[in-house]
Homo-oligomer: A and B are copies of this chain.
Amino acid sequence: AEDLHHSCQWGYGIRWGEGPTDTGMQRLALSEEDRSVRNWFIKTMQDLKCNVTVDEMGNIFAVRPGRRAGVPPTFIGSHLDTQPTGGRYDGILGVLSGIETIKTMNDMGLETEGGVGVVNWTNEEGARFPISMISSGVWAECIPLEQAHALQEVPTVASLPTAASAPETMKSALQKIDYLGDVPCSYKSTPMAAHFELHIEQGPHLVSAGQRVGVVTAVQAYKWFRLNVIGRDTHTGTTAFEHRADALYAFSRMMVRAREVAAAKGCLASVGIVEAKPGSVNTVPGLVSFSLDIRGPETELVVEVEKELRSEFDAIAAAEGAGIGKPCRVEWTLDFDSPAVKFHEDCIDCVQQSAHAVVADAPVADTKSLVRSIMSGAGHDSVFTSKRVPTSMIFIPCKDGLSHHPEEFSTAEDCATGASVILQAVVRYDRK
């Protein structure tokens, strides 16, 4: 926990309380703050006698060698980047639990068959470069390296006062902070025996049920789109509603409808970014660009929501501007598609057994009831590692189920519980 807050000195975000650690985090991927925490991570791992490599996506792999040479290490992985108004736990906890695991193994003089590694994946959040988990995606060879390198930062980041004048690509941003490594980004070049990840739940289930550990068996599906609504700029004071093709009004109707359609299918639909142009008080916006994030427990459900929204959005666009024979149009671009995932039985078993062991001393009759299986609402790098190697995850509760918010919080005790579970899970997996 000390280390966790120590690592948060690079990228303090919004302050929400009086205490020294009562701030959120703003450490966008490949920012100067990210460079600093990466340097600290490498130094820390080298001091712990790990071998460190950096690949072409800036992923950092630190390995504590095992007894047997030539056997791929078992990895603990997560990410050190955050949302623009993020907290101190999302991702950070996972990497820090990896460091803690290596420290404990060193202290105990514990030897493993294969090595044990810790990986910091680049731009997991997708907050700066709008494909989440992109670098584990390249590692899994699910996303082409060229596409990832060419990906541009989102406009909201590009317009921050500190930003460069032209939007950065991932490649230029990697170069700028000296993290464009030369190891090919691939599971072939950096093989793993398995991948474990500890994370805060980011949702309300554990905390509201008073449970202590979630054994993550699956991750819900999601798709990210960028949409443009194209209407016509015109004067706000002289143009009757019937004569408008108001792209922002059409957007508003779309957003309202998206929630209805998604809710009816037990899915989510969310807009996080919106930009209206030209952006003048007395000009009706002729162009609106926005992000759309659709999620659901099954891949097929997300596809159904998408399909319905495509036709509903077309109808809304067609109605706006029909009076002047210049209806709005809507264009969709798919940025990212992450089908639903099921984790590996062997890894799930290791996590479950470890969780039961760790909570066994708790002062309740049925300690097993403190552990539950859970599906992840958020994506994680484990989604992509699971395409290539056995994978599963551990969740711990977080306050109010709140995440992507400065006040995101988990107790030191819950963090310690998670760290113990992941240490045991890795050792169990190594001994299989």
Contacts and interface: CB of A to CB of B under 8 A. Distances in A.
Q: Which interface class (under 10, 10 to 19, 20 to 34, 35 or more) fits A? A: 35 or more
Contact of A233 (B85, B233, B234, B276): B85
A281 interface: yes
A189 interface: no
A255 B259 contact: no
Contact of A165 (B161, B324, B403): B161
Nearest to A377: B238
A271 interface: yes
A58 interface: no
Interface string A211-241: 0000000001010100000001111111111
A282 B240 CA distance: 36
Interface in A285-336: 285-286, 291, 293, 295, 324, 335
Given A83-B278, A403-B235, A249 B241 contact: no
Nearest to A26: B278
Interface string A250-278: 01110110010011000010111110111
Chain A contact surface mostly = loop
A72 interface: no
Contacts of A367: none
B291 A274 contact: no
B236 A268 contact: yes
A281 B130 contact: yes
Nearest to A288: B274
Contacts of A78: none
A259 B248 CA distance: 12
A279 interface: yes
B84 A279 contact: yes
Contact of A256 (B238, B252, B293, B378): B252
A125 B282 contact: yes
B233 A405 contact: yes
A302 B169 CA distance: 47
A259 B237 contact: no
Interface stretch (A39-47, A200-208, A424-432): A200-208
B249 A259 contact: yes
Interface in A372-419: 376-379, 400-406
B293 A268 contact: no
A402 B280 contact: no
Interface stretch (A63-71, A97-105, A111-119, A151-159): A151-159
A125 B126 CA distance: 38
Interface string A82-124: 0111000000000000000000000000000000000000000
Given A83-B278, A238-B378, A252-B253, 5 more contacts: A126-B280, A235-B403, A237-B293, A246-B270, A252-B252
Interface of A: 83-85, 125-127, 130, 132, 154-157, 159, 161, 165-166, 201-204, 220, 222, 224, 232-241, 243, 246, 248-249, 251-253, 255-256, 259, 262-263, 268, 270-274, 276-286, 291, 293, 295, 324, 335, 376-379, 400-406
29 contacts: A84-B278, A84-B279, A85-B278, A126-B280, A127-B280, A132-B282, A156-B279, A161-B166, A203-B238, A220-B237, A224-B281, A233-B404, A234-B402, A234-B404, A236-B295, A238-B403, A239-B268, A240-B268, A248-B255, A248-B271, A252-B252, A253-B256, A271-B276, A271-B285, A272-B285, A273-B280, A273-B281, A274-B276, A284-B404
